[in-house]
Amino acid sequence: DTAVSQTPKYLVTQMGNDKSIKCEQNLGHDTMYWYKQDSKKFLKIMFSYNNKELIINETVPNRFSPKSPDKAHLNLHINSLELGDSAVYFCASSQEEISGNTIYFGEGSWLTVV
């Protein structure tokens, strides 16, 4: 079984549309994250949730809204998509939100905005 699974893996959509990426982890972890990897492979944290509570919000435009219905799920909804939103979005999880914890990443969702 995949530890951190996210869907869809590929998404091509037009500017202005609204889209969602879903993420689920079966590791029993308390903390989940969303990271964005740009075309230069630079990986940057967007959000982290601990037990459904928002812990980190890294000055991401409010068009991005994470939702955690329970601690095993963290979905990412994006409104009014822009060309610059094209990237790979990684969901991840860790046992706790502390330094040195192992973070398990999903396989990524390739978002292309045209």
- Site residues (CB under 8 A) for another protein? 4, 31, 40-45, 48, 56, 90, 92, 94, 96-108
Q: Which is nearer to another protein, 24 or 97 (CB)?
A: 97
CB of 16 to another protein, least distance (A): 28
The tokens for 106 are 């999903």
Let me know: does 108 contact 37? Beta carbons within 8 Å: yes
Q: Which is nearer to another protein, 1 or 42 (CB)?
A: 42
Q: Which residues of 71-97 are buried (b: 16+ CB within 10 A; e: fewer)?
A: bbbbbbebeebeeebbbbbbbbbbeeb
Q: Which is nearer to another protein, 83 or 98 (CB)?
A: 98
